[in-house]
């Protein structure tokens, strides 16, 4: 079984968008919240109403789309959530990109009105 079969069978449907909100491609990936033990990626902030962990998630997805080359403002959408790409790296198997991992963060959009 290759990794694309695993993403296709078990990954969540997601889409990759440009900063101008144009859909670049659909894919299947694993997106899960980073736990407190992964605190080196969590730059939480204490606010007047409590601790804000800023919604960091771990993304593991196929080599395409290449999140490491994403333009500033590009994002991943999954379900009703949009995620900004904070950091992304390629993982290799030999000389071939095996998968991409990224630290992504929920985009909070302010409602007008």
Tens digits of residue pLDDT in 58-111: 999 999 999 999 999 999 999 999 999 999 999 999 999 999 999 999 998 766
User: Which pTM was predicted?
Assistant: 0.80
Give Dmax (Cα) for the chain. 53
pLDDT score for 55 = 78
Output b/e per residue, 4-15; b: 16+ Cβ within 10 A.
eeebeeebeebe
Are 14 and 77 a contacting pair, CB within 8 Å? yes
The answer to whether residue 40 scores a pLDDT higher than 60 is: no
* Cα 59 from chain centroid (whole Å): 4
Of 57, 59, 64, 70, the C-alpha closest to 98 is 64
Using alpha carbons only, give the angle 49, 54, 58 rounded to the nearest 5 degrees: 150
d(CA 75, CA 4): 21
């Amino acid at each position: 079984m290759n990794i694309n079969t695993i993403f296709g069978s078990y990954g969540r449907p997601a889409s990759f968008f440009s900063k101008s909100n144009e859909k670049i491609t659909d894919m299947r990936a694993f997106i899960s919240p980073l736990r407190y033990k992964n605190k080196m990626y969590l730059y939480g902030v204490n606010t007047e109403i409590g601790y804000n962990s800023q919604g960091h998630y771990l993304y593991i997805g196929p080599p395409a789309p290449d999140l490491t080359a994403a333009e500033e403002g590009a994002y991943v959408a999954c379900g009703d959530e949009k995620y900004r790409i904070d950091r992304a790296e390629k993982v290799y198997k030999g000389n071939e990109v095996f998968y991409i991992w990224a630290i992504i963060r929920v985009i909070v959009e302010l409602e007008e009105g």
